[in-house]
Amino acid sequence: MDHAILITYLGLLIGKHTVCDYFLQTMFHIRNKGIYGAWGGLCHSTHHAVGTLLVTYTMTLSWHTSIVLALIDGVTHYHIDYIKTRFGPQDINHPDFWKWFGVDQGAHMLTYLCLACIINT
């Protein structure tokens, strides 16, 4: 696949991530992400999955690929957020909060890099 297409795909995934994590996420989602199976975390991850579905379909025109990558992103996103929320400090004034936040965001970006590698095969 053309490198420009992969860079565009990554850019769209990062834009999707920004919208889902910073504009669509509510306190309900945030409060529930540390409770495994709670609706708030599932809803937030579904936002990500739907966004990835739309971005991937736009780039590949393949529903099969788009559904598979959306499921990978949704499940991965859910577990990354759960681990951060369950085990990391939730007080933004705690010095380790930002370390956990940075690892969380880095893990999401690595997920997108993996998705790009998958569509490149």
Nearest to 13 by CA among 41, 62, 50, 43: 50
Amino acid 121: pLDDT: 84
DSSP string, 82-119: HHHHHHS---TTSTTHHHHHHHHHHHHHHHHHHHHHHH
pLDDT, one tens digit per residue, over 26-66 is 999 999 999 999 999 999 999 999 999 999 999 999 999 99
Check residues 120 and 64 and name the one with the higher pLDDT: 64
- Residue 114's domain spans which residues? 3-119
Global confidence as pTM? 0.95
pLDDT, one tens digit per residue, over 89-114 is 999 999 999 999 999 999 999 999 99
pLDDT at residue 1 greater than cutoff 80: no
- Contact between 94 and 47 under an 8 Å Cβ cutoff? The reply is no
Domain count, the chain: 1
